[in-house]
């Protein structure tokens, strides 16, 4: 049982856990008691799995939906037409290094290149982070200040919550001083994959900000949620954040109406509303995760007929050059 008023985690625990994350497929399989299989990660995007994620997998099950999201397999080497390194055309959205603006009134700040987990389907797996390093953050913040059409800044990455508390607090404080901003959005997977990141320091900087805070988490399967994620969400909500979820529709992970429905129910139970269900971005090395659009439409129609409207995520695809995410259903 989680107490009604849970405490945040100790300040340094998450950094130790991040440092000790599993970094190769064979160790991962051994920890799960699964015989070694042929694995072949592309060197640019090695395996990374933190302990809390590992604990939620079923030992001995090579088809576990959480394992599939993180195990590098030789499928990644398959070249398929239509899958490219910059499928989203992000290169053209760069305002200044570290700042992407594709849509009106909001821009995306690449606050940290690091993630606590490496999701094999990631659309940013080929992103040239070297060109958008933390050294550019100051210029990026100045560009935000200079563009008064912006009302919302999205901290993204990588994962912005991999920044240490002092750096993050400095950034949030600077953004709070920009008068035309109303909202601060944080796109992060850490409340799911490393809930220990929810420290008193993090909560204090969120509650102290003048900006309305929206935290968009990323959870694809109900088995990713447990008592620790519940505690993390409770703490974030207590700090005043609105919690939304984005998921990616992934073959062999969540491509069934039962799983998606259970995901919405479990998220709501932890205080999170479903926001987007993304069709896979067609990035090199991810083709084995793709679910075709017709199947996706059928799944979402089933959800519509069984769940209250607010538990049905918007099915969207990102199309390079479009003015927003493109709604499919």
Ligand X SMILES: *Cc1c(COP(=O)(O)O)cnc(C)c1O
The widest CA-to-CA distance across the chain, in whole angstroms, is: 57
Segment contacting ligand X by CB under 6 A, of 3-11, 45-53, 102-110, 116-124: 102-110
Pick one of 56, 102, 132, 189: the residue that binds ligand X (CB under 6 A).
102
Alpha-carbon gap, residue 160 to 214, rounded angstroms:
13
Segment contacting ligand SF4 by CB under 6 A, of 10-18, 36-44, 114-122, 272-280: 114-122
Check binding of 325 to ligand X (CB under 6 A).
yes
CB 216 to ligand SF4: min, Å: 11
Check binding of 324 to ligand X (CB under 6 A).
yes
Residue 103: which of ligand SF4, ligand X, none does it interact with, CB under 5 to 8 A by kind? ligand X
Opening angle at CA 70, ends 109 and 22, nearest 5:
95
CB 256 within 8 A of CB 286: no
Residue 277, helix vs strand vs coil: strand
Residues 146-165 contacting ligand X, CB under 6 A: 154
Check binding of 93 to ligand X (CB under 6 A).
yes
Residues 134-163 contacting ligand SF4, CB under 6 A: 158-159
CB 292 within 8 A of CB 329: no
Give the burial class of 148: count Cβ atoms within 10 A of its Cβ; 0-12 exposed, 13-18 middle, 19 or more buried.
exposed
Segment contacting ligand SF4 by CB under 6 A, of 50-58, 81-89, 103-111, 112-120: 112-120
Strands 242-248, 273-278: pairing is parallel
Check binding of 103 to ligand X (CB under 6 A).
yes
Phi-psi map region of 161: left, alpha, beta (phi>0 left; psi -120 to 50 alpha): alpha
Residues making contact with ligand X (CB under 6 A): 93, 100, 102-103, 106, 108, 154, 324-325
Residues making contact with ligand SF4 (CB under 6 A): 115, 117-119, 122, 124, 158-159, 189, 218
């Amino acid at each position: 049982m989680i107490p009604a008023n849970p405490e945040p985690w100790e300040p340094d625990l998450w950094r130790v856990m991040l440092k000790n994350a599993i970094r190769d497929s064979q160790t991962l399989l051994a920890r799960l008691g699964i015989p070694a299989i042929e694995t072949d990660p592309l060197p640019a995007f090695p395996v990374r799995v933190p302990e809390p994620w590992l604990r939620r997998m079923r030992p001995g099950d090579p088809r576990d939906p959480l394992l599939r999201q993180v195990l590098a397999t030789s499928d990644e080497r398959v070249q398929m037409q239509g899958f490219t390194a910059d499928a989203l055309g992000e290169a053209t959205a760069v305002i200044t290094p570290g700042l992407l603006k594709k849509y009106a009134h909001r821009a995306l700040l690449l606050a940290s290149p690091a993630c606590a987990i490496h999701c094999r389907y990631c659309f940013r797996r080929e992103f040239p982070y070297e060109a958008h390093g933390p050294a550019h953050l100051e210029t990026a913040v100045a560009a935000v200040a200079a563009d008064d059409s912006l009302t919302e800044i999205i901290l993204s990455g990588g994962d912005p919550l991999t920044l240490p508390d002092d750096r993050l607090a400095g950034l949030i404080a600077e953004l709070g001083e920009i008068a035309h901003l109303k909202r601060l959005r944080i796109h992060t997977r850490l409340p799911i994959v490393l809930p220990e990141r929810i420290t008193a320091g993090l909560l204090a900087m969120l509650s102290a900000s003048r900006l309305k805070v929206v935290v968009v988490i990323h959870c694809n399967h109900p088995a990713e949620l447990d008592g620790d994620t519940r505690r993390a969400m409770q703490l974030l909500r207590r700090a005043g954040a609105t919690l939304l979820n984005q998921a990616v529709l992934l073959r062999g992970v969540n491509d069934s109406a039962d799983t998606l429905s259970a995901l919405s129910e479990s998220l709501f139970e932890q205080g999170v509303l479903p926001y987007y269900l993304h069709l896979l971005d067609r990035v090199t090395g991810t083709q084995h995760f793709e679910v075709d659009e017709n199947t996706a439409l059928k799944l979402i129609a089933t959800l519509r007929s069984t769940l209250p409207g607010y538990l049905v995520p918007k099915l969207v695809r990102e199309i390079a050059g479009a003015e927003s995410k493109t709604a499919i259903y």
